[in-house]
């Protein structure tokens, strides 16, 4: 198994306000992924416009900016085999109404504009977002005890 794949995950302001940070982290830990970067931050409009550069012309973008800058965000980098695709599955459809039961968005949210969590949608997207949100030296290289054999206990 290739452990070096990384993805960017963020608990959005509604998730932080609703005290869901621990539950979101728990989902990825429980799956067996490895946390390599974590910070709580107030997002600037500048950072957000770079993060959502493909969405700036969408009608919902002004609300998205207001939402994402309304309070702290927990930004994380996680590592593990096939992590980008797996985390997207675990997070669920953008619109919680269409998300499968058991996904984070289906379990914790009701509306597309307040959907609790972000996960990178591709390997390229993950690399871009990780570089945007984190300095390289804030990401830790460490060995999980279960990593060498490829399976978690």
Annotated ligand binding at 115? The verdict is yes
Choices 19-27, 35-43, 78-86, 112-120 (CB under 6 A): range interacting with ligand UDP: 112-120
Annotated ligand binding at 88? The verdict is yes
**Residue 9 φ/ψ, nearest 5 degrees:** -125, 140
For residue 17, what are the contacts with CB-CB under 8 A and spacing of at least 6? 71
CA-based nearest residue to 133, from 62, 71, 16, 51: 51
Q: How far apart are CA 112 and CA 130, in angstroms?
A: 24
In the complex, minimum distance from the CB of residue 148 to ligand UDP, in angstroms, rounded to a whole number: 33
Choices 22-30, 39-47, 108-116, 144-152 (CB under 6 A): range interacting with ligand UDP: 108-116
Q: Which of residues 32-71 bind ligand UDP (CB under 6 A)?
A: 55, 60, 64
Binder of ligand UDP out of 37, 115, 126, 134 (CB under 6 A): 115
Q: Among residues 93, 111, 118, 137, which one is catalytic? A: 118
Binder of ligand UDP out of 118, 126, 129, 130 (CB under 6 A): 118
Residue 94 lies near ligand UDP (rule: CB under 6 A): yes
H/E element, 36: strand 34-41
Per the annotation, the verdict on 118 as an active-site residue is: yes
Q: How far apart are CA 119 and CA 94, in angstroms?
A: 10
Order the strands of the 73-79 sheet from edge to edge. 34-41, 73-79, 6-11, 117-119
> Which positions are annotated as active-site residues?
118
Binding stretches for ligand UDP (CB under 6 A): 55, 60, 64, 94, 112-113, 115, 118, 121
């Amino acid at each position: 198994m290739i452990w070096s794949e990384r993805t960017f995950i963020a608990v959005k302001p509604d998730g932080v306000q609703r005290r869901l940070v621990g539950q979101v982290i728990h989902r990825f830990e429980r799956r067996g992924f490895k946390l390599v970067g974590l910070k709580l931050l107030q997002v600037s409009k500048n950072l957000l416009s770079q993060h959502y550069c493909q969405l700036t012309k969408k009608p919902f973008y002004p609300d998205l900016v207001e939402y994402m800058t309304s309070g702290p965000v927990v930004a994380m980098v996680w590592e593990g085999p096939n992590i980008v695709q797996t985390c997207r599955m675990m997070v669920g459809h953008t619109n919680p109404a269409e998300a499968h039961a058991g996904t984070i968005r289906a379990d914790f949210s009701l509306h597309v504009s307040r959907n609790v969590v972000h996960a990178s949608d591709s390997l390229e997207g993950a690399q871009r977002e990780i570089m945007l949100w984190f300095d390289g030296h804030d990401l830790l290289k460490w060995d999980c005890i279960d990593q060498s054999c490829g399976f978690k206990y």
